[in-house]
A and B are shown apart, each in its own frame.
Chain A
Amino acid sequence: MRAGTDLIVIGGGLHGLSAALQSARRGLRVVLLEGAFTGRHASGATAAGVRSLNRAVEELPLSLEAQAQWEDMIALVGDDCGFHAGGQVQVAMDTEAEARIKARIARLEAAGMRHEQWIGPDRLTELVPVMQPGALGAAYVARDGSADPHRTIRAFRAACLDAGVEILENHPVTWLARDGSLWTVVAGGTTHVAPTVVNAAGAWGRQIAKLAGDPLDVGIKNSMMIVTERCEPCLGPVISAQNRKLSFKQTADGTFLIGGGVQGRLRPGGGSASVDFGALSGAMSTTLALFPWVADLRLVRAWAGMEAATADLLPVIGPSHRAPGLIHVFGFSGHGFQLVPSVGRVIADLAETGRTRTELSAFDPGRLATNRKAA
C-alpha cells in the first residue's frame, strides 16, 4: 500500500501521460498505471494527425488551444515530437462535397473562426503536385500537420518521469473502489490510494467506468492503417477527402501512411484487433483515384488499433456524476491525438482544483450514462 498519492491515472496512452504530466507539474504526486506499456494501443497505432481541420465545433476551442501548444511542444515536453506543420487538406471530389466544405467554412467564419480556408484547384495542385488533377478544390489549414506518434509517446513519457510521475507498466487495473474520500486501486498486484482517479484507459475506459460504478455507453473502434515502403519525399500536407474514407500522408521516414477509418475486426476475447484485408481492399478506391501511382508501392505493414468511440463521436471528458473523485478522459473516437496537450491541461485543472475554465458540457459523461443494474 502506498500513501501520499494525490492522483492515480489509469492508462498510459498519450491522454493519460499528458494528464499525469501536467498534474505533476502543478505539484500533485501522480501514479500512472498502465496495463501493458505506454502507448501500446491507440496512441501507438494512430496516424498522428495534428488537425484542427474539419473538427466538430464543440472540440474547436480545445483543438485551437492544442494547435498553439503543438507549435511550442518543446516547452511542454522538451521535444518537438516530430511535429511538422505541413498543412492538412480536405479535398472536394464532387460538387456536393464542395458545397459541404464551403458551408462549414462559412459557419466557422460566422462564429469568428478563420483557421480553415477554401482553396481552388490551382492552389491545390501547387500544394499537392503528386495528386491527380480533377478535384474541385479543398479546405486547407496551413498550421495543421502531423507528428511522430512514437516519438511523442517517448517524449511525454520522459517528461512524466522528469516531473516525478511514477509510471508502472504491466500493471492492469483489476479493482477499484471508493471508501470515504479516497479511492483504492489494485493493479498488477499493487495497491494505490488517492482522492482522485483519472480514467484514461482508452478502449478499456468503459471497463474502468463500470468497475468504478459509473457504467457508460461507449463502443469500440478498430480503425485500420497501412504503411508503405520508404519513398522519396514528395507530399507535404496530410490529405483527406470530404464524404470519403481517406487519410493519406507521407511520414518523415518517407513511408506513406493510409487510413481513413476502415474498420478491422475485434479478436475473440476483445484484447486486440486484427486486419480485414477484404475491407481494406474495397477502401483503396479513393486513394487510387487521387494518387494512382501508389498502386506500384509495396504495403509493408497493416494494423488495426483499438480505440473507444461514442455515438456522437465526441470524447468523454469530465468528472463522473456517480463516482465522486473520478475524472473520465477517453472515447476520442479516433481523433484524439491532436487534443493531447490541451486536454491534459483540462484534466490537470480538474485534478488540482476540481474546476476548469473550459466548457465541457458537450463531453459530459452524463450523456452516456447507462443504468447501473443493466450494466
Chain B
Amino acid sequence: MFRPLPDSPEGPTVTVFVEGQPVVARDGETAASVLLRHLGTARITPVSESPRAPFCMMGCCFDCLAEIDGKGSTQSCLVPVREGMTIARQMGARKVVA
C-alpha cells in the first residue's frame, strides 16, 4: 500500500516489533505508518468486527487505534516509533483481564 522513497530514509532508523516481527522504521515515522505499510490494517472494529486502517493520520478518525507497548486503544498515528516498541492490531472490543 505504501513504500519508502527510493533514496530515503534520510537519518537514523529504529527496529520495532509488529505482532512479534521485527520491522525497521524511519525515526520520526509513527506506529500507524508502520502498521499501514506492514499489515495494511490497524484494528478490527468492536461493533461489526470489520477491518480498519489508519484513515486521517492526524488524530481525528480513531481508526488507527492499536495496542502499543501493551497499551490498548492507543491512537497509533500520534505515537512516533521508538527502538524496541511493540505494536499490535486491536482485535475487536477490549478484553478485560481481571
Contact = CB atoms under 8 A, between A and B. Distances in A.
A296 interface: yes
A277 interface: no
Contacts of B95: 231-232
Contacts of B46: 229-230, 254
A64 to B, nearest CB: 33
Given A132-B98, A230-B94, A231-B95, 20 more contacts: A130-B96, A131-B98, A229-B46, A229-B73, A229-B94, A230-B47, A230-B93, A231-B96, A232-B92, A232-B93, A232-B96, A254-B46, A291-B98, A293-B96, A293-B97, A293-B98, A296-B71, A297-B73, A298-B72, A298-B73
B97 to A, nearest CB: 6
Nearest to B98: A130
B71 A254 contact: no
Contacts of B98: 129-132, 234, 291, 293
Nearest to B74: A298
B19 to A, nearest CB: 19
Interface in B39-85: 46-47, 71-73
Chain B interface, DSSP helix/strand/loop, else mixed: loop
Interface of B: 46-47, 71-73, 92-98
Interface centre among A130, A230, A297 (most CB of B within 10 A): A230
Contacts of A254: 46, 93
A230 B95 CA distance: 9
A253 to B, nearest CB: 8
A121 to B, nearest CB: 16
Interface centre among B47, B93, B95 (most CB of A within 10 A): B93
Interface of A: 129-132, 229-232, 234, 254, 291, 293, 296-298
A333 to B, nearest CB: 32
Contacts of A130: 96, 98
Given A131-B98, A254-B46, A293-B98, A231 B93 contact: yes
A291 B96 CA distance: 10
A32 to B, nearest CB: 34
A254 B92 CA distance: 11
A329 B43 CA distance: 48
A12 B78 CA distance: 43
A131 B95 CA distance: 15
A131 B98 CA distance: 7
A129 B73 CA distance: 24
A234 B72 CA distance: 17
Contacts of B73: 229, 297-298
Contacts of B92: 232
Interface centre among B94, B95, B96, B97 (most CB of A within 10 A): B96
Nearest to A232: B93
Contacts of A293: 96-98
A231 B95 CA distance: 6
Nearest to B71: A296
Contacts of B72: 296, 298
19 contacts: A129-B98, A130-B96, A132-B98, A229-B73, A229-B94, A230-B46, A230-B47, A231-B94, A232-B92, A232-B95, A234-B96, A234-B98, A254-B46, A291-B98, A293-B96, A293-B97, A297-B73, A297-B94, A298-B73
Contacts of B96: 130, 231-232, 234, 293
A293 B70 CA distance: 13
Contacts of A231: 93-96
B61 to A, nearest CB: 15
A107 to B, nearest CB: 34
A131 B46 CA distance: 23
A131 B71 CA distance: 21
A230 B44 CA distance: 13
Contacts of A131: 98
